[in-house]
Amino acid sequence: MLLFTLNIFFTLTSPASLTDFSTDQDALLAFKQAITVDTNGVLSNNWLPNNSICHWTGVSCGIKHHRVTALNLSNFSLHGKLTPHLGNLTFLQSLDVSSINFTGVLLAELSNLRRLKQVNATSNNFTGEIPRGILTNMSLLEDIDLRFNNLSGELPSDICNNTPKLKRLYLRDNQIYGKIPTSMYKCIEMEDLSLSMETYQLKLGI
């Protein structure tokens, strides 16, 4: 029985599971397929299965495990939508899809990325509500920039409950409404907060 238990433990913690980046490659290729316009051919000419993903334009990998740690596609002249497969990039720490003309919604699957520290999706055409998990259950998240989109809805009442490291939150120029939740005080490291909008609908919760 003890031997069986040890075999399971070593299987689950095997270095091979950390260095096997086929999951990351599949996630990025699925993301690529959802791109409808690639004006400069950045993805179509560079994101190829026979090349290491760590050499793909806009992709950065960790030195130790060669898993994707950053995805920076800012100003790449792309059109399309985010795909749920991005939630499989479990080593991702930084996501920058700013100024790309993306549409659709921000995906709830992003809250699966427990190592995520920075999210920049400013200057797109994202709609719908901000996934609740991003604002309430990302323990390492430090920066969120979602300015200049068409996001709507209210801020979750339990914002900052499990995002203690959040330092910068930018949501201005969206369609966010309602009150600023009193739980915001739990973001004890907050340095910069931008919630102003032309409609000035946000007010301090009591």
Confidence of residue 196 (pLDDT cuts 50, 70, 90): low
42 sits in which H/E element: helix 42-46
Domains (range + CATH), the chain: 21-204 (3.80.10.10)
How far apart CA 131 and CA 125 sit, in angstroms, is 16
Which among 109, 133, 99, 122 has a CA at the least distance from the CA of 174? 122
**What pLDDT, on a 0 to 100 scale, did the predictor assign at position 12?**
46
Write out pLDDT tens, residues 2-61: 444 444 444 444 444 455 679 999 999 999 999 999 998 999 999 999 999 999 999 999
Q: What is the DSSP string of 9-31?
A: HHHHT-HHHHH--HHHHHHHHHH
Write out pLDDT tens, residues 62-121: 998 899 999 999 999 899 999 999 999 999 999 999 998 899 999 999 999 999 999 999
Write out pLDDT tens, residues 149-181: 999 999 988 998 889 899 999 999 999 888 888
Which percentage of the chain shows pLDDT scores above 70?
85
Beta partners for residue 81, in sequence order: 103
